[in-house]
Amino acid sequence: MKYAREVIGLMASFPGRPFRMKNLVEYVDPGATGRERLRIRVAIGRVLQMLRESGHIDVGPTRLSRGRFATYTWTRDES
């Protein structure tokens, strides 16, 4: 999957630290704007979905409301 290496590398380096989608997109391509930024966000969303299904990350809060955002936290130690 595209950007899987970057997302896993960043999140696994800081287990327990919550990341926002914004943090992940800026890490992958700090200069992306507009459609490129949306394309990156969708691709990262797919990576995060697979990581969540495999049990590597936790997503919180589960209920989003106005002014809140989801956070993604690496939970599994791969060593």
**pTM score, two decimals?**
0.86
Q: Looking at the domain assignment, is residue 54 inside a domain?
A: yes
- Percentage of the chain beyond pLDDT 70 is 89
Q: Looking at the domain assignment, is residue 63 inside a domain?
A: yes
Q: Looking at the domain assignment, is residue 59 inside a domain?
A: yes
CATH number of the domain to which 10 belongs: 1.10.10
Q: Is the pLDDT of residue 78 over 70?
A: no
Degrees to nearest 5, angle at CA 73 with 46 and 64 = 75
pLDDT in tens, 15-42: 999 999 999 999 999 999 999 999 999 9
Q: In 4-36, which positions are buried (b, 16+ CB within 10 angstroms) versus exposed (e)? A: eebbbebbbeeeeebbebeebbebbeeeeeeee
Average pLDDT over the chain, rounded to whole? 89
Q: Looking at the domain assignment, is residue 33 inside a domain?
A: yes
pLDDT in tens, 52-62: 999 999 998 76
Q: Looking at the domain assignment, is residue 79 inside a domain?
A: no
Total structural domains in the chain? Answer: 1
Q: Looking at the domain assignment, is residue 44 inside a domain?
A: yes
